Amino acid sequence: MDHTQDRALRHRAARVLPQGVYGHQSTALLPETYPQFFTRGEGAHIWDTDGHAYLDLMCAYGPNLLGYGDPRVNNAAIAQLQKGDTLTGPTPLMVELAELMVSMISHADWAIFCKNGTDATTMAKTVARAKTGRRIILVARGAYHGAAPWCTPAPAGILAEDRAHIHYYDYNDAESLSAAVAGAGDDLAGIFATPHKHDAFTDQALPDPDYARRARALCDQTGALLIVDDVRAGFRLTRDCSWELLGVRPDLSTWGKSFANGHPISALLGSETARDAAGSIYVTGSFWFSAMPMAAAIATLEILRDSSYLEQTIALGHRLREGLSKAAHAAGIGFRQTGPVQMPLFLFDDDPDFRRGFAWASDMLEQGIYIHPWHNMFLCAAMTDRDIDQVIEAAQTSFQAVSKRLDKIVPHPALSTLLAARSA
């Protein structure tokens, strides 16, 4: 595979962007053949700068829910841009969008729109503290809630004070959660939880209903706020807050990534009990009132509400999981698929430094399938049975190929460094 253009761009990027490309879309920790830059997206596919097309199981790390460039969404967005986007005040779309989200999300009585998932999670923390007058926020160990100083996974430039009164518990462990609540004494402001455990580098885990119910009960007992961070999983599991599937209703939920199908908007939703506290904090951003992403969000949400996108992606997910499972078994490869079928994570047994996963992913990429070797993926509604079958067929080939050269695969140097740092 030719990567000439991508290499040239990386060379230029290294001069004007720290580390080349920073953040979650950096390929520094991916197999070396993975392209860093793309030129086009359409439906379920992306094209790199050297002209290779890929069926994309990353879906932009979440934002692509209906398919890249969905014309129903983009036409609504463009029509609004032509009228007005970032003005001296919001358009009526801000009210319409808030009404629409409140009508779809059972626990929600109000919405605040922002730009980053991190904006929403940081506001949730602040609202919980404003509501309770207390300080301690409980977060599951290893869970990702954004990249602000209080939650970013990297320590550089972060002070102990940035994490003050953030306490940790083990996801899906009701006893650990109860112990953390007891440890907070009378200073508990809120409990964060992702809908399911979707930490990178490790098997996903569906939520234990006992743990989720315990989180709700502990908040009821203490007056702390329960916060479901639906930024990543939102609208991928249900058309409501994800923990409605367990019958557990939070006080606050955070949203982003997918609800405008890739247009830049995120949100904090809250129940009546948190309305006054949400109104008491000062939060804003230059583009938080922009109309174009709100038009895109309304168009997306109406499709989510009225179409079978959810049932489609779940059916695609089951087809994929079953096909890959058979292919791995046939090749005699220990292969784990975890999490909701429409948000799959693939890991290999006996692969502590991910070298097997990397080799497999590289081989899949060569066959035009973009998968991620250590992060959960996403299915989108633009995928078809034929696309899924293409993944399975490629996997059959790749599993066999990897199986044959297991003893020749070397680990990825950058990832080895990271893993060594994590285990230190």
Backbone angles phi, psi at 393, to 5 degrees: -60, -45
Stretch that binds its own copies, among 244-252, 272-280, 306-314, 352-360 (CB under 8 A): 272-280
Distance CA 55, CA 308 (A): 21
Verify binding: residue 305, its own copies, rule CB under 8 A: no
Q: Which long-range contacts (CB under 8 A, 24 or more apart) does 351-357 make?
A: 352/419, 353/411, 353/412, 353/415, 353/416, 353/419, 354/201, 354/411, 354/412, 354/415, 354/419, 355/409, 355/410, 355/411, 355/412, 356/402, 356/406, 356/409
The nearest distance, CB 347 to its own copies, in angstroms, is 20
Which one, 190 or 339, has the nearer CB to its own copies? 190
CA contacts within 13 A on the Cβ side of 279:
8
Binding to its own copies (CB under 8 A): which residues in 191-220?
none
CA contacts within 13 A on the Cβ side of 200:
17
Stretch that binds its own copies, among 61-69, 192-200, 217-225, 352-360 (CB under 8 A): 61-69
Residues 377/321, Cβ–Cβ less than 8 Å: no
Q: How far is CA 310 from CA 240, 305, 317, 344, in A?
A: 11, 9, 10, 15
Stretch that binds its own copies, among 150-158, 302-310, 330-338, 410-418 (CB under 8 A): 150-158
Binding to its own copies (CB under 8 A): which residues in 352-411?
370
The nearest distance, CB 255 to its own copies, in angstroms, is 11
Residues 379/317, Cβ–Cβ less than 8 Å: yes
Q: Residues 308-347: x/- map of binding to its own copies (CB under 8 A)?
A: ----------------------------------------
Verify binding: residue 46, its own copies, rule CB under 8 A: yes
Verify binding: residue 168, its own copies, rule CB under 8 A: no
Verify binding: residue 106, its own copies, rule CB under 8 A: no
Beta bridge mates, 48:
38
Stretch that binds its own copies, among 170-178, 284-292, 346-354, 401-409 (CB under 8 A): 284-292
Verify binding: residue 145, its own copies, rule CB under 8 A: no
Q: Residues 238-257: x/- map of binding to its own copies (CB under 8 A)?
A: ------------------xx
